[in-house]
Amino acid sequence: MTPAAGAPLLEAEGITKSFPGVRALHRVHLTLQRGEVLALIGENGAGKSTLMKILAGVQEADAGEIRVDGRPVSFNTVESAMRCGIALIHQELNLASNLDAGSNIFLGREPNRWGWIDEKMLRRQARGYLEAVGLDIAPDVPLESMTLGRQQLVEIAKALSVNARILIMDEPTSSLSQSEAERLFAVIRELRGRGVSVIYISHRLGEVKELAGRVSVLRDGENAGELGRDEIHHDRMVRLMVGRDVERFYQRRPHRPGRVVLEVKGLRTRAYPASAIGFALRAGEIIGMAGLVGAGRSELLQTLFGVQAALEGEIRVDDQLVMVASPRDAVAAGLALVPEDRKGQGLILPMSVSDNLSLVSLRAHRRAGGFRDRKAERVVARDMIAAMRIKTPSDRQEARLLSGGNQQKVVLGKWLAVDPRVLLLDEPTRGIDIGAKQEIYGLMEDLAERGVAVLFVSSEMEEILGMSDRVLVLHEGRLSGELTREGLSEEAIMHLATGGAPAAETSP
Amino acid sequence: MKRILGILVLLIVVYLATWIMSDLLTGRQSFMSNFNQENLIRRTALFGIISVGVAFVIITGGIDLSIGSVVCLVGVGFPWLLLDKGCPLWLALALVPAVSGLIGLTHGLLITRLRLQPFVVTLCGLLIYRGITRGFTRDQTAGFRNDFTNFRRLATDEIPVPFLGGFGIPMPCVILAVVAVIAGIFLNRTIWGRYLLALGNNEEAARFSGINTGKMIVLAYVICSLLAGLGGLWFVLDVNSAQPVDFGNFYELFAIAAAVLGGCSLRGGQGTILGVIIGAALMQVLRNMITLVDEIPQNIEFAIIGTVILAGVIGDEVTRRIVARRRRGVEGVGTGLPPAA
């Protein structure tokens, strides 16, 4: 079983894969050494996920060869990839939340005799793997009582328990808090030290810089280039991903904030009943809301939008006191929310682009007796598709078939059709590629120019720094400070986000 | 255990209420009579058998609406074969698991291979098996008449309990006990039970863990139909004769209701055998109450049962929310994200 001398741990060559109408991968190659963290980056639709699925045995390549330890292998099931030591850690966690940690680790491979599970053995072995990923919990802790970050570590423990030598992680930090992500990085480094190799897919270039020993870039289903440890810089990665220089990523235009559109006073949310929040938003202003995950940002937006009832507080739109007990009230008051969970809360996936775009404005276009005015709806939809440059073969295309960026444009578009006064966005660019990100930023700028007050929540520091006229920082449900353009810096935000006192006295 | 507690309390409350209203307030001894209590246990056991079956399907996130018709097919077909067709007992007995197992296998394969929806497949089953039964019997009642009395004692006998004044444990209760113990061990102590729970919660995760989820789902439907067949056999042994038109009518709904009351979630991944049996018992005590308490008119039976099921499910949901809120309170800051779907 000694590996062929000098052969890399994993080698993929000439991988080609087509789906009906799409060439997902074309002659892609990839190598992975022992104990290496390789970052795989690229825009959405560049073929990263397809490549990973092929390496993990979820899908089969049309052509190409995969070698492990220099020996050609062929995978057509997840189990056959597992036998070669390859485990895929999915973007969406693949665990059974009704079982405990130990049962999840050994799911499908329970130590048993004649089908009878040996619980004692299972727990004893599980404990070792939990320790290996730095989790000091008992194996019988139910999964549903654990945070997402811990669940992810359980998933890694599960991969280790099948003696995985190659871990493929697809956007593992997308739903983790800062501290959870850091814990994950520590575990990855520790695993690397023990000779485990990791292929790390992420949109967050900051993470890539921190973790990766090498970066491989895919573009349009082909290799776009590779960067060694010393070459990993933000600009170079972006250039390879986009295929051109991104001259000025955040094209801020000067805003002239007008009068106050939204005023919030003493608002207490269910998530943090102890803190009352107050702030004001002006017309034509873009405000970023920063904070660690769990700081109550999403909850605040949802409370403003009536998804969750407020415990107390005043919301005024254009100086009018409004009662927001439901999203319907919020819409009537001129508020719009682009939710964080695009697929779950923003879109009706099996419905067409046109039907999604007209969902909010249906009422406005209805005819006598409640009948839909389908002609008007389609006109609105087509205008919106053209105005927002939504890439779709037709307005009848199902929303689920669009790329993430175009889906997000549809969500935005359905609100623009009713001309909101205040636009709330929750992680507007999460999981969408760089080109589409830029377009979303452009749309936010356009709206501000038209006098809409824009409030967006983001966990991406660069986005907050690049887009905001002002930044509100939350810490554990409390508004811990406000930063204007002049005092804006990553350090200042982190200082407030981690509970530091606002440095109000020192700034002019 | 916590999940069972609520339904257990509800059962005790309804049981005591029935006793008070039917016996204590009237000075009769109808509810607490040996005859009635034995009968109550007998009915609970019979319905318990089919409820345990459907629990397996519900745990996978599926549903089986054909149970009542399988009960009818077996319950009518078995005596029909024996007496009208002169079929030997061993063959008729062998046909019960063979036919009901085949039905479950068909359901499972249609659901996993052709990816049809369980609701649709088993709804069609409900129509087909009853139609077939009415066809081959020409709607004529089938029964044992005065034959097979010894064999029928497997359902009609009681095992006397000493010192309880002639009270005996009805045979179906023994059958249910055996079924329940095996089902409980299967669900909680074997890898296959764990696979069912896992795939009911997250089928993809189970599949990516190397579990043949299709096979396991088929297994759940086979178990369900087998127990429906077993139940059908014991139902007819108990009552002696069965009419193709209405034998087993609505039994699937009683079974599903018992499973849901007993803590199974129709979303899958949850359920305990003991809870399901308590749920079945609650249904029977309720029906008994409606029969025995003079103030309750017979014809609103379904309305009362429906209301109690609704109350049970609401109560369950409310407790779960309170528990969840308390847990969140203890943990303090959540992740700020909805739980992974």
For residue range B29-39, what is the model confidence (pLDDT) as tens digits? 899 999 999 99
| pTM score, whole prediction | 0.75
When CB atoms are compared, the residue of A90, A108, A271 closest to B211 is: A108
* ipTM above threshold 0.85: no
CB contact under 8 Å between B334 and A147, yes or no, is: yes
Alpha-carbon distances, residue A304 vs A278, A328, A335, A414, A476 (angstroms):
12, 12, 9, 19, 17
DSSP SS3 for B106: helix
| Mean local confidence (pLDDT), A54-72 | 89
CB contact under 8 Å between B337 and A95, yes or no, is: no
Task: Confirm or reject contact between A507 and chain B (CB < 8 A).
Answer: no
CB contact under 8 Å between B209 and A109, yes or no, is: yes
Q: Which residue has the higher pLDDT, A439 or A370?
A: A439
| Mean local confidence (pLDDT), A155-177 | 84
| Mean local confidence (pLDDT), B264-285 | 91
Cβ contacts of B96 within 8 Å, gap of 6 or more: B74, B78, B229, B230, B232, B233
CB distance A456 to A286 below 8 Å: yes
Residue of B188, B202, B212, B320 best to disrupt the A interface, most CBs of A under 10 A:
B202
How close A383 gets to chain B, by Cα (Å)? Answer: 34
How close A223 gets to chain B, by Cα (Å)? Answer: 28
Helical H segments across A245-315, by residue range: 297-304
CB distance A273 to A296 below 8 Å: no
**Rg from Cα positions in chain B:** 21
Strands of the sheet with A335-338, listed across from one edge = A335-338, A422-426, A453-457, A286-290, A470-475, A478-484
CB distance A313 to A265 below 8 Å: yes
How close A346 gets to chain B, by Cα (Å)? Answer: 14
**pLDDT at residue B328 is higher than 60:** no
Three-state SS string across A51-104, please? HHHHHCCCCCCCEEEEEECCEEECCCCHHHHHHCCEEEECCCCCCCCCCEHHHH
Grade residue B341 by pLDDT with cuts at 50, 70 and 90.
very low
pLDDT tens digits along A71-125: 898 888 877 888 889 988 876 668 888 899 999 999 888 998 888 999 999 999 9
Closest residue in B to A150 (Cα) is B335
How close B114 gets to chain A, by Cα (Å)? Answer: 21
CB contact under 8 Å between B201 and A99, yes or no, is: yes
CB contact under 8 Å between B208 and A95, yes or no, is: no
For residue A14, what are its two tokens? 């000439």
pLDDT tens digits along A300-356: 999 999 988 888 999 999 999 998 889 989 999 999 999 988 888 888 888 889 888
Q: Name the most confidently modeled range: A175-189, A216-230, A287-301, B79-93.
A: B79-93
- Residue with the two structure tokens 């049996």: B277
Q: What was the pLDDT predicted at A124?
A: 93
Q: Which of A54, A69, A43 is nearest to A19 (CA)?
A: A54
Q: Which of B222, B215, B191 is nearest to B54 (CA)?
A: B222
- Residue with the two structure tokens 């037709």: A394
**pLDDT at residue B336 is higher than 60:** no
CB contact under 8 Å between B202 and A107, yes or no, is: no
DSSP SS3 for A14: strand
Q: What was the pLDDT predicted at A1?
A: 44
- Residue with the two structure tokens 């789902």: B217
How far apart CA A197 and CA A37 sit, in angstroms, is 6
| Mean local confidence (pLDDT), A425-444 | 86
Please give the angle made by the CA atoms of B186, B187 and B189, to the nearest 5 degrees: 65
| Mean local confidence (pLDDT), B116-132 | 97
pLDDT tens digits along A233-258: 877 887 787 775 544 566 677 778 88
| Mean local confidence (pLDDT), B270-288 | 93
Find chain B residues with C-beta within 8 A of A109's C-beta.
209-210
When CB atoms are compared, the residue of B190, B204, B207 closest to A117 is: B190
Closest residue in B to A272 (Cα) is B333
Grade residue A44 by pLDDT with cuts at 50, 70 and 90.
low
**pLDDT at residue B332 is higher than 50:** no
Mean pLDDT of chain A: 85
Closest residue in A to B327 (Cα) is A145
CB contact under 8 Å between A115 and B192, yes or no, is: yes
Alpha-carbon distances, residue B286 vs A97, B7, B10, B207 (angstroms):
35, 13, 11, 41
% chain B with pLDDT above 70: 94
How far apart CA A215 and CA A40 sit, in angstroms, is 6
Q: What was the pLDDT predicted at A39?
A: 93
Q: Which of B77, B79, B55, B71 is nearest to B126 (CA)?
A: B71
CB contact under 8 Å between B335 and A99, yes or no, is: no
CB distance A278 to A267 below 8 Å: yes
CB distance B280 to B258 below 8 Å: yes
pLDDT tens digits along B64-74: 999 999 999 99
**Rg from Cα positions in chain A:** 25
pLDDT tens digits along A199-209: 998 877 788 88
**pLDDT at residue A132 is higher than 90:** no
**pLDDT at residue B273 is higher than 90:** yes
Grade residue A374 by pLDDT with cuts at 50, 70 and 90.
confident
Q: What was the pLDDT predicted at A163?
A: 83
Beta pairing partners, B190? A116
Beta pairing partners, A287? A455, A470
Q: What was the pLDDT predicted at A247?
A: 47
**pLDDT at residue B214 is higher than 50:** yes
How close A291 gets to chain B, by Cα (Å)? Answer: 11
CB contact under 8 Å between A93 and B205, yes or no, is: yes
Task: Confirm or reject contact between A80 and chain B (CB < 8 A).
Answer: no
Closest residue in B to A158 (Cα) is B209
For residue A171, what are its two tokens? 């956007």
Find chain A residues with C-beta within 8 A of B191's C-beta.
110, 112, 115, 117
| Mean local confidence (pLDDT), A258-278 | 91
Cβ contacts of A395 within 8 Å, gap of 6 or more: A352, A353, A354, A357, A378, A381, A382, A385
CB contact under 8 Å between A108 and B206, yes or no, is: yes
Chains A and B: how many Cβ contacts under 8 Å? Answer: 106
Q: What was the pLDDT predicted at A295?
A: 83
pLDDT tens digits along B153-165: 999 888 988 887 7
The least confident of B77-86, B93-102, B188-197, B310-319 is B310-319
CB contact under 8 Å between B198 and A96, yes or no, is: yes
CB contact under 8 Å between B191 and A110, yes or no, is: yes
Beta pairing partners, B71? none
For residue A463, what are its two tokens? 């986005």
Find chain A residues with C-beta within 8 A of B210's C-beta.
78-79, 82, 108-109
**DSSP state string for B107-126:** HHHHHHTS---HHHHHHHHH
**pLDDT at residue B59 is higher than 60:** yes
Helical H segments across B202-243, by residue range: 203-208, 213-239
Cβ contacts of A195 within 8 Å, gap of 6 or more: A34, A35, A165
